Chain A
Amino acid sequence: MNVNVTINDKAEQRDVEPSVTLLEFVRDVLGLKGTKEYCHSGVCGACTVLMDGNAISACSTLAVQADGHDLLTVEGLGTPDDMHPIQQAFVDNFGLQCGYCTPGMVLLTKSLLDENPQPTREEIIRYMGSNICRCTGYAGILASVEAVVAQRGK
């Protein structure tokens, strides 16, 4: 089946089997390996991408469901030399250790802050609670999100 998407501001068109997941499409078909996989069951959030600005699990979405939609993966957010402020905050506030959950976490942060630019701590915790990190105990991640919120509030 034909899948047309805009991904990281670029139009892409590919012919894929209907069973191909959005995660396979992003990683294997388009070669964007920044999006990660762990549970493959929609629980951990390592595969988080933004579809029309909303955070979704790419492992539990079919590529064809993304047809006609706008996608953002971690590659579209910033580069090591020109990081997005959210990524910079994760670096500065020790919001990552092994880094495996980080692409998902920064995209989840973006979708939170796009929806709710000045969330309270409780709102952050509720929203960010959907993704798993095994290294940080989440303190650094919370500090990173709060740092972006504080910066934007200025």
Chain B
Amino acid sequence: MCAAEKPRVTRLIGQSMPTLEAADKATGRVEYMGDLTVPNMTHAKIVRSPFAHARITSIDASAARALPGVVCVFTRDELLADDDMETLYGFVYRDVPVVATDKVRHEGDIVAVVVAETENIAEEAVELVDVDYEELPSVMSVDAALEDGAIHVHDDFFPIAPELRPRAGTNICHEAQISKGDIVQGFAEADFIYEDSYSAPPVQHCALDRHAVIVDYEGDEITVWTNCQSPFPLQREIKRIFNKDARVIVPYVGGGFGSKSRDRIEVVITGAAKLAKRPVRYIMTQEETFQTFIRPAYQSWIKTGVKKDGTIVARHHVFTVDVGAYAISGARSANNTLKVATGPYNIPNAVVDCYAVYTNKPPSAPYRGLPTTQHTMSYETQLDRIAKDLGIDRLELRRMNLAREGDIHLTGDWLRNAHTHECLDQVTEAIGWDKPLAPSADGKIVRGRGVASTIKYTLTPPREMSENSAEVALGEDGIFEARFGTVNMGQGSDTTMAQITGDALGVGLDLLRLVHSDTGLTPVDSSTTASRSTYHMGNALVDASDKLKEQILAAAAPMLEQSADKLTMGDEGVTVDGDPGNGLSFDEIVRRNGGPFAAMGECVVGGTWKAPDGKEYPIASTFWTFASCAAEVEVDTETGLVRLVSAAASATTGTAINPHSIETQLEGGVGQEMGPTLFEQMVWSDEGQLMNPTLMDYPLPTMQTMPHYEPRFVEHPFDGGPFGAKGMGEIGAVIVPGAVLNAVNDATGVMFHEVPLLPYKVLEALDSRAGSEA
């Protein structure tokens, strides 16, 4: 179905425009979850486990219930007594109890919900809930969880997504392998073999808009307001658990970065709201967000075989991801990144092994591309080591191995839109790679540069599980309404969708109204994650717009006594080609039509792709995004402090829908990832208590640590994307640690195999280097 036989005109696409909601945001008029209220609302607070692992021996909430102003307390007793409430939650991995039943599995695990007339009363009542625990041994790291005889965080596994494979009798909740060629042969052909291990500790997303929810259980359907990034899967999950229809409404979200991709509070608060028989609101504290979802600990071991001339002939990459106490999200994210673990390089023989492991840390969630970021750090820093060892220029080694258009990827995909060399060239030029570094005046500050390149997938489930739809309608007021499920969390999705829809219809923004992320009003969409929305939702909106346009032109044709192919849609309405005075306004067409128009659109993905060689190739990722980063650092050899001075980033974006917005996404990604690279990390005691749960002892990047940014993009339209666009919301972050570690190595001669680069670690490494040189 395609009405757009005439060449498409782009007026809105390619314009750098501030987001449509920017003025409302700048004046504080936008309502986020924490600003919403509903009539007759009550307030919830959560009783959380103080232990990393314990059996609950008893819960006595009678004193809390007796406190004046307390409405109800929701515990396992109420959950288990209610036959109309399922006990386990999770739409990727069903392993989270709605509220703890027998055990708690991480510090902060949810034991009970107290509902009261005010937040203060609820807070007071939380203290009155008497819970007895029998503390159990805990496993606080992947290494501990994989030891023989380690305690099991879960006795059973409940994977839902078909690709997830737990190993019975262990803490491995998912293991998988991907391979290409023959690595035994590959390593046999290699002249040199390099082996390295890498690691990165957990961090928290610190989206400023804390997770929050309001649930109204009463009425024909459950109504849930939440800042979750996946409203549709959540809606189905709530419906399944409570056996009642649900509607999920997501307002503007103040940052997600993955932390809200699989919220878990909606279900337990729905249970509390059922009991309360009144709407219940719950807003996490910042400390609670640290106990809810985190970026997991990562470890990798990589072995690379190269020829003397630098050609990579074999790679074995093994990685573990610490999914924490529940695999609702972490297992699948780990699995997804198998596809990109060998990087944007053409490696003929490769094997990647992935292990997702349960521990007693808080559950993990994706974090702006995780763990692609850590894969990139691993293979990129090893490449610099290889370059140095073989005496080959670092850029040259990359250029000779970077994949090109039409190379066959690890997954068997024929790589498209693979402008890897252009990305690398752009960033090295932008950072001034060939310019001499400022000399070290007193020998105290040393400087260096580094690069890293990457490849990133987007969420690509099997065709039948991929849901990407949208609706576009023309109402009586002559205004078009685009209805789409994408959650606007600051990435500018409304504006992108408006630019795409406006150009697809041929009308300006004045004629467009947007409705976003409300399962009651917008058609089904998988989620707002993995940089997928511009491509998938953009295509669904183009499809809906094309169909709507066809309907409108077909209706207008008899009204104007013309055939539809002689008509054009524009800001004035529908006009006759070559006779612009002859036309009808949109409201007039709707009036004469006797009612409004509406059309549904979808984005069909998956299957195979027919390459120019005539063969069909798999599509493991609907599109691939390639990117490079060049970083310049200063290392203070007296204090060990590393400063990121300047960072250039470039990504293959396809058509740039909103160019400056792309640049600001890159800046934001780089600026965010700088924290985990240089100083952020969550630290637990041996007993499993988080030692730095507040911003007082968990520093974040500020304007004072900001590097100079040089954002770039490589704009070649991608066949299949809406007007040729691809997604890129996460990529700026992914390329940072690899480039920074390589720059520090360039400056100091010390290659770090872990982040963050805390000053004391840098000093230790500098000292031991000096020691070994002495």
Which A residues are closer than 8 A to B by beta carbons? Answer: 33-41, 43-44, 46, 73-75, 77-81, 83, 87-88, 90-92, 94-103, 106, 124-126, 128-142
Q: A83-B23, A136-B671, A138-B671 are in contact. Are A99 and B700 (CB under 8 A)?
A: no
Q: Which residue of B lies closest to A89 (CB)?
A: B26
Task: Give min CB distance, A63 to chain B, whole Å.
Answer: 14
Nearest-CB residue, chain B, relative to A88 = B26
Nearest A residue (CB) for B704: A129
What residues on A are CB-neighbors of B671 within 8 Å?
A: 136-139
**Interchain CB contact under 8 A, B702 and A129:** yes
Question: A17 vs B28: C-alpha distance in the bound complex, in angstroms?
Answer: 27
Q: Is the CB of B26 within 8 A of A136?
A: no
Pair B25/A96 contact, Cβ less than 8 Å:
yes
Contact flag A132-B700 (CB < 8 Å), given A78-B27, A91-B26, A137-B672:
yes
Query: Which residue on chain A has the smallest CB distance to residue B207?
Result: A134
Contact (Cβ within 8 A) A140 B702 = no
Residue ID in chain B nearest A106 by CB atoms: B26
Contact with A along B186-198 (1 / 0, CB 8 A): 0000000000000
Write out the residue numbers on chain A whose beta carbons fall within 8 Å of the beta carbon of B18: 91-92, 94
Is the beta-carbon distance between A98 and B695 smaller than 8 angstroms?
Answer: no
The answer, yes or no, to whether B417 is at the interface (CB within 8 Å) is no
Say how far A87's CB is from chain B's closest CB, in angstroms.
4
Asked whether, in the complex, the Cβ of A36 is within 8 Å of the Cβ of B208, the reply is yes
Picked from A36, A37, A43, A94, the residue with its CB within 8 Å of the CB of B696 is A43
Residues of B within 8 A of A130 (CB): 702
Of B252, B664, B695, the residue contacting A41 (CB under 8 A) is B695
- Chain B residues near A91: list those with CB within 8 A: 18, 22-23, 26
- Inter-chain contact B668/A137, CB cutoff 8 Å: yes
What residues on A are CB-neighbors of B492 within 8 Å?
Answer: 97
**A136–B286 CB distance below 8 A:** no
Name B's A-contacting residues (CB within 8 A): 18-19, 21-32, 34-35, 205-210, 252-255, 257, 285-286, 489-492, 660-661, 664, 667-672, 694-696, 700-704, 706, 709
Contact A34 B27 (CB under 8 A): yes
* Measured CA separation A16–B58 after assembly (Å): 39
Interface contacts beyond A33-B35, A39-B694, A139-B706: sample of 20 additional A-B pairs, CB < 8 Å, sorted by A: A36-B32, A37-B34, A44-B695, A78-B27, A81-B23, A83-B26, A95-B26, A96-B25, A97-B492, A98-B209, A98-B489, A99-B30, A99-B254, A129-B702, A134-B208, A135-B490, A137-B672, A137-B709, A139-B667, A142-B703
Among A81, A129, A134, A142, the one with the most B-chain Cβ atoms within 10 Å of its Cβ is A134
Inter-chain contact A87/B27, CB cutoff 8 Å:
yes
- What's the Cα separation between A27 and B205 when bound, in Å? 25
Q: Which 7 A-B pairs have the closest CB atoms?
A: A137-B671, A34-B28, A98-B490, A99-B25, A100-B254, A74-B28, A97-B490
Given A96-B22, A136-B671, A137-B706, residue A77 in contact with residue B208 (CB < 8 A): no
Chain B residues with Cβ below 8 Å from A83 are 23, 26-27
Q: Are A40 and B26 in contact (CB under 8 A)?
A: no
A34 & B29 in contact (Cβ 8 Å cutoff): yes
In the complex, which residue of chain A has the Cβ closest to the Cβ of B34? Answer: A37
Q: Which residues of the partner chain B approach A128 to less than 8 Å between Cβ atoms? A: 703
How far, in whole Å, are A92 and B17 apart by their CA atoms in the complex?
Answer: 8
A-side contacts of B27, CB under 8 Å: 34, 74-75, 77-80, 83, 87
Q: Given that A34-B27, A132-B702 are known contacts, is A140 also in contact with B667, CB under 8 Å in the complex?
A: yes
Give min CB distance, B639 to chain A, whole Å: 19
Known pairs A38-B286, A91-B26, A137-B709; A97 contacts B694 (CB<8 A):
no
Q: Give Cα A133–Cα B208 distance, bound, in whole angstroms.
A: 8
Query: Can you sample 7 A-B contacts with CB below 8 Å?
Result: A41-B694, A91-B22, A98-B489, A102-B25, A106-B26, A134-B207, A136-B668
Alpha-carbon gap, A73 to B30, bound state (A): 14
B670's closest neighbor in chain A, by CB?
A: A137
* CB-nearest residue of chain B to A141: B703
In the complex, which residues of chain B have a beta carbon less than 8 angstroms from the beta carbon of A90? 22, 26
- Give the distance to chain B from A92, nearest Cβ to Cβ, in Å: 7
> Roughly how many angstroms separate A78 CA and B286 CA in the complex, as a whole number?
29
User: Closest CB of chain A to B727's CB: distance in Å?
Assistant: 16
Contacts of A139 in B (CB 8 A): 664, 667, 671, 706, 709
Give A33 to B703 CA distance when docked, in angstroms.
26
- Bound-complex Cα distance A124 to B703 (A): 9
* A102–B28 CB distance below 8 A: yes
Residues B664 and A94 in contact, CB atoms below 8 Å apart? yes
List the B side residues contacting A81 at CB < 8 Å.
23
A43 CB, nearest partner CB in chain B, Å: 4
Q: How far is the CB of B707 from chain A (nearest CB, A)?
A: 8
Q: Are A140 and B703 in contact (CB under 8 A)?
A: no
Q: How far is the CA of A132 from the CA of B209 in the complex (A)?
A: 12
**Minimum distance in angstroms from A88 CB to a CB of chain B:** 8
Contact of B257 among A77, A103, A134 (CB under 8 A): A134
Q: By the criterion CB–CB under 8 Å, are A137 and B696 in contact?
A: no
* With A38-B208, A132-B208, A134-B206: A73-B28 Cβ-Cβ less than 8 Å: yes
A79 to B469, CA, bound (A): 35
| Neighbour of A44 across the interface among B23, B28, B208, B661, CB < 8 A | B208
Bound Cα distance from A95 to B661, whole angstroms: 11
Q: Is A125 a contact partner of B254 (Cβ separation < 8 A)? A: no
The residue from B19, B208, B667, B706 contacting A125, defined by CB atoms under 8 A apart: B706
**How far is the CB of A131 from the nearest CB of chain B, in Å?**
8
Chain B residues lying within 8 Å of A87, measured Cβ to Cβ, are: 23, 26-27
In the bound assembly, the distance between CA atoms of A19 and B436 in angstroms comes to 59
Compute how far the CA of A105 lies from the CA of B477 in the bound complex, rounded to whole angstroms.
38
Please indicate the chain A residues that have their CB under 8 angstroms from the CB of B491 in the complex.
97
Closest residue to B669 on the A side, CB-wise?
Answer: A137
- In the complex, which residues of chain B have a beta carbon less than 8 angstroms from the beta carbon of A124? 703
A98 CB contacts on chain B under 8 angstroms = 25, 207-209, 252-255, 489-490
